[in-house]
Amino acid sequence: MMFDHRLILLATPRQIGVLDWRPGRMHWLGEFAATEAGLAAFRAVVARHAQLPVLLVADTVDEDYRSEILPHVQGHARNELLARKLKQVFRNARFTGAWRQTRETTGRRDDRYLLAALTDADWLTPWLSVLHRERIPLCGITPLALACQHLLARLRPQEPHTLLAYRLDSRLRLSYYHDGLLRFSRLIGSDTPTQLPGNAADEIAKTQLYLTGQRILPREARLQVLLLDPSGQLDSAQAQLNADPAFSTRLVDMQSLGRALRIPDNFLAATPAIAPLAAIAGEPVQLNLAPPELLQRHTEFRWRRGLHAIAGTIALVGLGITAAYWLHAQDLNDQTRQMAQQQQQLDARYQAIARTFPVQAATPEQLAQTVSLSRHLAGQPNVTALLVAVSQALDASPGIVLENFVWADDTLKPTGNVTITLDAALIPFDGNYRAAMQRIEHFMQTLRTVPSLHDVRLRTSPVNADSSSTLTGKTLSGNSSADPVARFSIELGYREATP
Amino acid sequence: MTRPPFAVLKLSLILVLAALLLAGIGVMWSRQQALGAQAARLQQQAALNAARQQLDRSRQQQRLIDTHLAEYQTLAGRGFVGAEDRLAWIEAVQLANREVGLAGLEYRLTPRAATDPTLAQGLPLGQTAMVLTMPLLVETDLPRFLAALKARAPGIFRVHGCRLSRLGSASFEAVNQPRLQAECELLWFTVTPATGSVQ
């Protein structure tokens, strides 16, 4: 909002008034007569506000307005077209301007322009010289009628054709607006006897005739007249105008104006000239009569202000990012500190536990492993049970004499088990190997019936009848004194029965 | 506002550059601070995790010690943990032999050897083979002897295998003479940990 702070000057051939304006706040800095003393005082005031842009609102009799319909062109072509047109219409006037108000909706859809000029602006030169010397950024020169357009917008007129009669400093300004846009304005100076209500009404009627004659105002149009006079001298003109059906008159009192502009009544009553200035202060300048060379300072000012805004934005963004990173870093540092405290607590608890550990040659894991291993090693098949299992089978098989009994325990190996080897002989044996084999087979069947014995197989038999081997022997007579022997060997597995 | 009037905007341009420079320096500095803080936090997080694991491990170790220390100390007292005590083994064998009432026995101890790594599971487990040869009156003398030896064994042993065979081919007579011979291989196991302390 600080960028909208500006000075609004209301310049007339007699004097210049200065309004210090910013959104929601304004201050009237005074009026200065067009004298040496007034210029010096004006210079002192603007020098104190040299950093602010200035909008000059000109209120003079020597002004001219012309409505033109021109082809719709843009860019450089439009600038050239308007320059030629202004030169053609206003010849050598220095302060000219064009405002593209609207575009026709039919035909070629041409643009409608309002051309304006200060036909005699010599009186303005001393004020502009002061601004130039003080290097004030002048943002524009605009006629008071345009300021009144913004004032009119605040008053919300009901009719499309509006004539604003604004009396200020004994001068009457009559401005015609169509659909809220300025089309024509004229100032009736103080030498004209407008003090009389009848004269003001006459001037308004003459203006209406002129507008109609120039086809600016349609003949059948009803003109709404807004009477605005801080001194109240136009009040009596209302009755005279209302008698004419071509007019509808509305008197704007200062209270309504103050409410519309949001200006305190007493402030507005003390300085009624601020009303149009306050209305145009926050608005863009649509009709600028200042030649480009006078706007150079403002161009520089805008560039400078833009660059300062960029610099400020960069600084703010940089500051914001820096702050965000810094806060993030602080947050991380806090987390790190909290974790460090947690670590210290954990370390302390660990130390407390470690102090309770006994001094041992082995680690706790080795300690547990050693105990587990000892249990594993101590678990071995019961020898008595093993002998009993084999004895059960031997007791059930008479005539078999055990010669060697061997067992080996490989249960410590993952796939190991207990294996038993029995070397035995058949006693008595009569040389009948077929019968002997049947007895051995019966013995093996008996072994298999014992639950803890398994995988019973014959390793060696009394006689090897395999076709691939040599078989020797002798048969015995019935009275032979030598005892025949039938030895064999059996291998089997042992699995301790689970209880 | 077409072409910028550079000549009168020097100060403003310098201001923009200064703002850019300061903003850049500020952003880089603070970013560096944030990165440093992030790295420190990660490092501290790792240290905290390590401390947590160390504490968890110490608790597990404490539980292991509470559960197994007494039994371990008993094993150490019996001779399973520590250097092998061959004299104690021989004495135990002799005492068991005498207790069972056997005629006598012969023993032979082989050098200590490392056991199968699958069985040892990383422990410094060694085994020493002891071969016993002894005459028996009856077969049941063997389990009685082994039970007596187990009862007084200064350590842990396993019977790896036994051979029972008859002495001679004479027929059975009821005399107090040993007719059987047993030859058994016993494996004495010992764990010899390196010196140190629990951590």
Contact B33 A357 (CB under 8 A): no
For residues B160 and B110, give the distance between their C-alpha atoms in angstroms, rounded to a whole number: 14
Label residues A460-474 b or e (16+ Cβ within 10 Å = b).
Answer: ebbeeeeeeeeeeee
**What residues of B are in contact with residue A300 (Cβ under 8 Å)?**
5, 8-9
Q: What is the mean pLDDT of chain B?
A: 88
The neighbouring-strand residues paired with A332 are: none
Asked if the model's pLDDT at residue A21 lies above 70, the reply is: yes
Distance from the B28 Cα atom to the nearest Cα atom in chain A, whole angstroms: 8
Which amino acid is present at A309?
A: A
Residue A409 at interface with chain B, using a CB cutoff of 8 Å: yes
Q: What is the pLDDT of residue A280?
A: 93
Alpha-carbon distance of A57 to A281, in angstroms, equals: 10
Burial grade of A491 (CB within 10 A; 0-12, 13-18, 19 or more) = middle
pLDDT per residue as tens digits for the range B57-103: 999 999 999 999 899 889 888 889 888 899 999 999 999 999 988 88
Interchain CB distance below 8 Å, B48 and A339: yes
Least confident segment among A65-69, A168-172, A308-312, A443-447: A168-172
pLDDT at B152: 86
Enumerate residues 150 to 179 of chain B having a beta carbon within 8 A of any beta carbon in chain A. 156, 158-166
pLDDT digits (tens, 9 = 90+) for A340-380: 999 999 999 999 998 888 876 678 888 899 999 998 888 88
Question: Which residue of B13, B41, B73 is the best one to mutate when testing the A interface, meaning the one whose CB has the most A CBs within 10 A?
Answer: B41
What does the pLDDT average to over A287-302?
A: 92
Q: What percentage of chain B has pLDDT greater than the value 70? A: 91
Q: What does the pLDDT read at residue B199? A: 38
> Mean pLDDT throughout B114-136?
91
Residue A35 binned pLDDT confidence (cut-offs 50, 70, 90): very high
The 10s digit of each residue's pLDDT in A216-238 is 889 888 899 999 988 888 888 88
From residue B62, alpha-carbon distances to A44, B55, B56, B58 in Å are 92, 10, 10, 6
pLDDT of residue B195: 54
Residue B93 forms contact with A (CB below 8 Å): no
Residue from the list A307, A322, A336 with its beta carbon closest to the beta carbon of B15: A307
pLDDT at A123: 94
CB contact under 8 A, A361 and B45: no
pLDDT at B198 over 50: no
Is the pLDDT at A161 greater than 90? The verdict is yes
pLDDT band at A486 (very low <50, low <70, confident <90, very high): confident
CB atoms within 10 A of CB A480: 11
Q: Give the SS3 label for residue A133.
A: helix
d(CA B196, CA B199): 9
Match 């069947």 to its residue by tokens: A445
Dihedral sign for Cα A477, A479, A485, A486, please: positive
pLDDT tens for each residue of B17-26: 999 999 999 9
Q: What pLDDT sits at residue A334?
A: 96
Cα–Cα distance for residue pair A33/B83, rounded to 1 Å: 123
User: What count of Cα atoms within 13 Å lies in the side-chain half-sphere of residue B40?
Assistant: 18
d(CA A184, CA A212): 12
Q: Which residue has the higher pLDDT, A359 or A60?
A: A60
Residue type, B194: A
Asked if the model's pLDDT at residue A37 lies above 90, the reply is yes
Distance from CA of A2 to the nearest CA of B (A): 18
Residue A51 has a CB neighbour count (10 Å cut-off) of: 12
Q: How many CB pairs under 8 A join A and B?
A: 240
The three-state secondary structure class of A433 is helix
Tell me how many degrees the CA angle A384-A387-A389 measures, rounded to the nearest 5.
110
CA distance A262 to chain B (A): 33
How would you classify the pairing of strands A453-460 and A486-494?
A: antiparallel
**Nearest residue on chain B to A412, alpha-carbon basis:** B119
Chain A positions touching B199 (Cβ under 8 A) are 354, 357, 363
Q: How many CB atoms lie within 10 A of CB B187?
A: 20
Tell me: the pLDDT tens digits for A75-111? 999 999 999 999 999 988 999 999 999 998 888 899 9
Q: CA A125, CA A34: separation in Å to the nearest integer? A: 11
Give me the phi and psi of A177, to 5 degrees please: -125, 135
Closest residue to B34, CB basis, from A332, A349, A406: A332
How far, in Å, CA of A423 to CA of A494, rounded? 16
User: What pLDDT does A189 receive?
Assistant: 75
- What number of other Cβ atoms are within 10 A of residue A414's Cβ? 9
pLDDT for position A415? 81
A414 vs B16: CB contact, 8 Å cut-off?
Answer: no
Q: Shortest Cα distance from B126 to chain A (angstroms)?
A: 12
Q: Is the pLDDT of residue A431 over 60?
A: yes
Instruction: Answer yes or no: are the C-beta atoms of A169 and A188 closer than 8 Å.
Output: no
Nearest to A371 among B8, B12, B72 (CB): B72
- Residue B73: helix, strand or coil by DSSP? helix
The pLDDT, as a whole number, for residue B119 is 86
- Closest-CA residue of chain A to B167: A403
Q: Average pLDDT of chain A?
A: 88
* pLDDT beyond 80 at A193: no
Q: Quick check: A333 and B40 CB within 8 A?
A: yes
CB A341 within 8 A of CB B45: no
Q: Which residue of B has its CA nearest to A419?
A: B161
DSSP element (H, E) containing A143: strand A138-143
Token reading at A237: 């003109």
% of chain A residues with pLDDT over 90: 56
Are B1 and A326 an interchain contact pair (Cβ–Cβ within 8 Å)? Answer: no
ipTM score of complex:
0.80
Considering only the beta carbons, identify the residue of A322, A336, A374 that sits closest to B26: A322
What is the per-residue pLDDT across A264-281, written as a single tens digit (0 to 9) for each? 888 888 888 899 999 999
Give the minimum alpha-carbon distance from B86 to chain A in angstroms, rounded to a whole number: 19
State pLDDT tens for residues A382-417.
888 888 889 888 888 888 888 899 999 988 887 888
Residue B84 has a CB neighbour count (10 Å cut-off) of 20
Query: Comparing A104-113, A448-457, B35-44, B168-177, which segment has the lowest mean pLDDT?
Result: B168-177
Of B15, B123, B139, the CB nearest to A373: B123
CB contact under 8 A, A307 and B31: no
How much of chain A exceeds pLDDT 70, in percent? 94
Instruction: Please give the average per-residue pLDDT across A256-265, as a whole number.
Output: 89
Residues A446-464, mean pLDDT to the nearest whole number: 89
A319 and B23 within 8 Å at the Cβ level: the answer is yes
Picking from A377, A412, A372, A356, the residue whose alpha carbon sits closest to that of residue B72 is A372
Cα A419 from chain centroid (whole Å):
82
User: What pLDDT score does A1 carry?
Assistant: 44
- Say which of B5, B16, B33 has its CB closest to residue A329: B33
Q: Which residues of A touch B71 (CB under 8 A)?
A: 371, 374
Alpha-carbon dihedral B133, B139, B140, B142, rounded to 10 degrees: 10
Out of A336, A350, A387, closest to residue B41 by CB: A336
* CA separation for the pair A192, A184 (Å, rounded): 20
**Res B82: pLDDT:** 86
Q: How far is A43 from chain B (nearest CA, A)?
A: 23
Q: Please give the backbone phi and psi of residue A223, each rounded to the nearest 5 degrees, phi first.
A: -100, 125
CA distance B24 to chain A (A): 7
